[in-house]
Amino acid sequence: MTVILTTSPGFGKHGRVTQRLAELGWELIRCTDTSRPDGGMAGHVGRADYLVVGLVPVTAAALEGAVRLKGVLKHGVGVDNIDIPACTARGLPVANTPGANADAVAELAVGLMFALARNIPAGHASVVSGGWDRRVGSQLGGKTLGIVGLGNIGRRLALLARGLGMRVAAADPHADRAFAAANDIALMELDDLLAAADYVSLHVFGGAGNAALIDAGRIARMKPSACLLNLARGEVVDLDALAGALDAGRLGGVALDAYVTEPPDVSHPVFRHPRAVFMPHSGADTVEALENVGLMNIADIQELMAGGRPARVLNPEVFEDRR
């Protein structure tokens, strides 16, 4: 029997994925214990034929006992938590699911902008506590959205924002210039975008290259009324600088869906700020997105089982080595 080990809480639970796994007759082992750094997979990885990865790090050490493993599939897009060179050294193909959850993440970004613009969390809290605190908000139409990272998610968000009547700017050295031109998106350097935008939404990969991309210096370039959204990775934003800017009135608001450690340490000052909104890294958590991602994972596993090479493989050199 084919054994699938997953560290993703959402894999195999939504839409047609559950039925498809049952039809295939694969054994599914869930290792999603957030109190353990490896999710609890150490005791099971030796039985696994394929690993479907959530946010748990996949390191060389984690792979040491994976004697049966034939492939590593990311249940999502970002692979900064997967040591791809270590997988390649073991001859393990790594694949992700680009575009499968772009709509879900982009829609949450819009929702978080509305939450900040119209004080939705505070309004809810007021009513359920017996109050009637009517706060004057602002409209998104006519405001400028700055998108950092114009990939699948960034492009989808740009279209949604344009539909709301927002101006859109983007910072991405590899931006699709034809897409930008066709959709009236101004391409800017990051520092210029930060100075111009009313809302800044981050959609870049994590990892050392983007660590503290938004630090105290860059936050200082933003308008005091501007709002920052991070739906990327926690390390992209300097949380101490963020809290300091909010306390000093140098930032209008913040919405976070990603953290350096998850769940985060809520004793940090930023979590007590009234102009901050938080989500539990759920940008991709819609039935539709989880179904899309899961079915893509299954398709890639089937391709590998048949001796093929998935189109989404990130280290194709493992197939060259096999030849």
Residue 323: what pLDDT? Answer: 55
Residue 38: what pLDDT? Answer: 86
List, by residue number, the catalytic residues. Answer: 233, 262, 281
Residue 112: what pLDDT? Answer: 98
Domains and CATH numbers, the chain: 3-100+286-322 (3.40.50.720), 102-278 (3.40.50.720)
For the chain of 323 residues, list the mean pLDDT of each consecutive stretch of 10.
96 94 96 87 94 95 95 95 97 97 98 98 97 97 98 98 98 97 98 98 92 97 98 97 98 97 95 97 95 97 97 95 59
Which residues pair with residue 3 across a beta bridge?
A: 27
Q: Are 167 and 143 in contact (CB under 8 A)?
A: yes
User: 């969390």: which residue's tokens?
Assistant: 121
Which residues pair with residue 6 across a beta bridge?
A: 30, 52
* Three-point CA angle 27, 28, 33, nearest 5°: 150
Beta strands in the chain (DSSP E): 3-6, 27-30, 50-53, 71-74, 94-95, 144-148, 167-171, 185-187, 199-202, 227-230, 253-256, 276-278
Residue 298: what pLDDT? Answer: 98
Cα 219 to Cα 188: distance, rounded to the nearest angstrom: 17
Residue 317: what pLDDT? Answer: 96
Which residues pair with residue 91 across a beta bridge?
A: none
Peptide bond between residue 264 and the one before it cis (omega within 30 degrees of 0): no
Name the residue type at position 51. Answer: L
**Cα pseudo-dihedral 150, 151, 152, 155, rounded to 10:** 10
